[in-house]
Amino acid sequence: MCHQSVGLIQSIIEKAGIPTASVTLLREITERVAPPRALFVDFPLGYPLGIPNDPALQTEIILATLGLLAEGHVKTHDGRTASHNSGLAAVR
């Protein structure tokens, strides 16, 4: 699905009072759209959960994304605080 569309849909859903979080592969586009919460993963398009057959990494990405909903502020997976304006955290 288009990164820009997902970010815009997230904003609409959030305005209805439902928290959202997404996984993004294109940081520049996601920063421009500025969704409420997004986890940037540095992988090629088509691999939002990382490389195939790596359940530990895939679990880490899923838990980090869900963690964005539970936290009052956004952090990267290594504990650094990310920009509150973009709501964007990162996993490598």
Domain map (residue ranges) of the chain? 3-91
Q: What is the pLDDT of residue 89?
A: 63
Q: Which H/E stretch holds residue 40?
A: strand 38-41
CA distance 75 to 78: 8
Q: Per residue of the chain (92 residues), what is the pLDDT tens digit?
A: 688 888 889 989 988 988 999 999 999 988 888 888 999 999 999 999 999 999 999 999 999 999 998 874 444 444 444 444 445 566 54
Q: What is the pLDDT of residue 70?
A: 84
Q: What is the pLDDT of residue 43?
A: 93
Q: What is the pLDDT of residue 3?
A: 80
Is residue 21 within 8 A of residue 37, CB to CB? The reply is: yes
